[in-house]
Amino acid sequence: MVELVMYTRTAGCPFVSLAKRVLNDHGLSYREIFIDKDDEARERVLRWTGFLAVPTLIVARPGEVLPIEEPEPLPKGASPRGINRGAMITEPGRDELNAWLLQHGFITQAEAADAPF
């Protein structure tokens, strides 16, 4: 059993808005962790991405704050934007997020094909 967790911040962000719209359109539940309210979460995102990049979505065990597997490493200084890192994706576009959700079984192929965007 796994859970979808979104690292985010309280201030508005177009990438966060897009991710929430995609998840809500699919009727998916997810847990939000706010990096501007949780110093440990902030440090995790910085360590994982090299930036304070949100949204950073992970596949986690229920109630946990770490991905179920270590994310694929990024080259030093490289942008994490839209890169599928296994159990993690950061700042994805619609197609990237749909493919990642499909890969992890959160949506089906039919749901990905019928996405209203």
The domains located in the chain, with CATH, are 3-113 (3.40.30.10)
Q: Over its length of 117 residues, how does the chain's per-residue pLDDT go in tens digits? A: 999 999 999 998 999 999 999 999 999 999 999 999 999 999 999 999 999 999 999 999 999 999 999 999 998 889 999 999 999 999 999 999 999 999 999 999 988 887 765
What per-residue confidence (pLDDT) applies to 65? 98
What per-residue confidence (pLDDT) applies to 116? 64
What per-residue confidence (pLDDT) applies to 114? 77
User: How far does Cα 45 stand from its chain's mean position?
Assistant: 11
Strand 31-34: give its sheet, edge to edge.
31-34, 3-8, 56-60, 88-90
Bridge-based pairing of strands 56-60 and 3-8 is antiparallel
